[in-house]
Each structure stands twice: as C-alpha cells, then as structure tokens.
Amino acid sequence: MSDVLLCYCRAGFEPELAAELGERAAHAGIAGYARAERGAGYVEFFAEQASALARALPFAALIFARQKLLRLAELRGLDPGDRIAPILEALLAAPAPRAAAPRHGEVWVEHPDTDAAKPLAGLARSFGNALRPALRKAGLLSAHDDPRLPRLHVLLLAGDRLLLAESRVEDSAPWPLGVPRLRMHPEAPSRSALKLEEALLTLLDDGERTRLLRDGLRAADLGAAPGGWTWVLVRNGLHVTAIDNGPLRQHLLDSGRVDHLRADGFRWQPKAPLDWMVCDMVEQPRRVAERMATWLREGWCRQAIFNLKLPMKKRWEETRLCLDLFAQQAQRPLRIRARQLYHDREEITVFAAPPR
C-alpha cells in the first residue's frame, strides 16, 4: 500500500501545491502522484516512499504548504456516537517506529481552513477533549505534551469522515492548521502589517529574530503607504526610510524613527548600505524579483523581505521562474525562503539573506 504525504494549504491553491510536490518529488527521484480537489484546503501525495519523500522535502523548503504530515489512515462511515473506537483501532494497527509507548506527544483535532468546513470547528474542539483521555488510557498519547514524540493530527472532513496523520515537531508548523493566530493591533496603519508580522514569525527562526531585529538597525520600506510594514519594523526597534508618493499615518512620523521620502520605490536607492529592505508593492512579480535582486547584488541592503503578486494562471510556474530569476540576478550566495502565508492572498512572501 502506498504511503501518503498530507499537506494543508490555502483554499484554492491546491493545484499549485500539487504541482510543487510533484516536481520536488521528481527531483528527489521519488515517483508518485498528487490527489487534490480545488477548495479542499489540503493535498494528498501518494508515493511508494512517502517517508523518504518527507525527509527529502523539509517543511521549511515548501512554499504552498501550511503544514506537512504523513497520513496514517482514512476513516469513513463513522458512527457519530462512537468515533473514538475506530481511531484507536486504526492507530493500534498502524506500524510503529518503535515498540515503546506512547507513540505521540500531543494531538490536534483540526478541520480544513475552508468556508465549507467551518461548521466542524465546534465538533473539533469537543471531540479533541473526549479523544485525549481515551488515547492516554490506550497508551498512545503521553500524559503531558512531549515535543520529542511525533504529533498526532485528526483532520475532520465531515461528521463521519476523517484523516489520521502525524508530524515531527521539528519538521512542521507549530500551530494548528499551520496558521499563526495574530491579532490586528489598533495602532497598525493597515492589515498588511499582519503579513510582515507573520513573515518575521514564519520565515525567521528565534535566533535570527533576535539578531536581525534589534534597536538601531536601519531599513527601507519600498511602497510604504499607509505604513503597515514600516510600523512593524519600528515596533522592532528599527529606523525606517519609508519610500512612497502616498501619505503615511501621522503617528509613524511622530515616532522619530521614520523618514518619509516621496519617491518611486522602483527607482530610489539608499546613499549608504542598510540592514533591511522590505517591499510590498503591487507590480508584476518578475519586475519585483529583478529589482529585489539589484538591491542584494549592489549591496544596498543585507537582508530583505518582499512579496511577489502571482498571476491567476500557472502560479507555480511563475513562482519558480521568479525565484530562479531573483537568485540568478542577485549574483551572490543567499539563503532564500519563500512561503504563501496565511495573511497573503494571491502572492507569496520571500526572505533573502547572506549565508550564515
């Protein structure tokens, strides 16, 4: 029986994730095929070596995946009066990597992040509360959350259907459904602030955030108005040159950490090298990729975060082309990480920095 890699994604981007998984699997020399339904919020990739594929495709390298799991079983036709017994039976029948119990350090009961699946949210919460003690009694779940053990995921697809899967804590997103729950701050000039906050949380590790986001560093925000990304940088202690012909929120200017220059973000360049450049301009993705590469190639900034707005068709192909174009034209070694964030829409967010 084939193993199955299970990945969550933004609803509507299942074809892009399926194409990404298929191409990356082929590059790893692993044969397989994707099964995806547009709007489902997840993709299954069937392969004879899904475990090897999971090792060859670290979660941090995936762009359109919010979460990466290995599927254990699919259960259909469940009796709403007793969903727990079939789950215990399936888990006890599944091959275990080692004889010692428990097998899992924690359990998340989830549902796809889609409008159609939202009614399952209440069931997910109540069922999780009932399932945990049953798993512990069966010796399948540790008494307390244990990050050394795989995490069990129960993905509810309907009242009588679910998927069982597991993830390694070090190779998966640390939030249910892979979605960090961020709140809009009342002083944030726009909701775009959430995109940069999520990017800093998702694309940088703890050490990088401490080292690269500290008081006294200098940054440029290209296409800054009304100031959402500038506001996030200022909150992290940076001094920001905000480039935009449009206005910024007055409280940003009053902070003493923002210089507003009315100029074209595609033409302006700093007089001295900066620590950061960020960019959320609405423009053709290839043009943005080329301009971002110029910033890194010319040494105008040390690291950057920028968005690439994707077309309606062939989005995986455009993503790959733009990232390759950026890497080639930067003409220097870079760490490049890209992800379609929860707060992104028809776009991906890219982080680029010199090698460590």
Q: In this structure, are residues 25 and 50 in contact, taking their beta carbons and an 8 Å threshold?
A: no
H/E element, 150: none
Which phi and psi (to 5°) does residue 310 adopt?
-90, 150
* 309 is an active site residue: yes
264 annotated ligand binder? yes
- By the 10 Å C-beta count (0-12 exposed, 13-18 middle, 19+ buried), 182 is classed as middle
Whether residue 69 contacts residue 171, with contact meaning beta carbons closer than 8 Å, is answered with no
344 labelled as ligand-binding?
no
Nearest to 224, CA basis, from 211, 213, 238, 210? 238
Active-site residue, selected from the candidate residues 68, 309, 313, 314: 309
Q: Is 171 annotated as a binding residue?
A: no
Task: State the Cα angle at 98 between 104 and 93, rounded to 5°.
Answer: 70
* Structure token pair of residue 194: 């959430």
Q: Using an 8 Å Cβ cutoff, are 18 and 45 in contact?
A: yes
* Annotated binding residue 227: yes
Longest pairwise C-alpha distance within the chain = 69
Cα 45 to Cα 33: distance, rounded to the nearest angstrom: 6
Binding residues for S-adenosyl-L-methionine: 192, 225-228, 244, 264, 280
Binding residues: 192, 225-228, 244, 264, 280
Residues serving a catalytic function are: 309
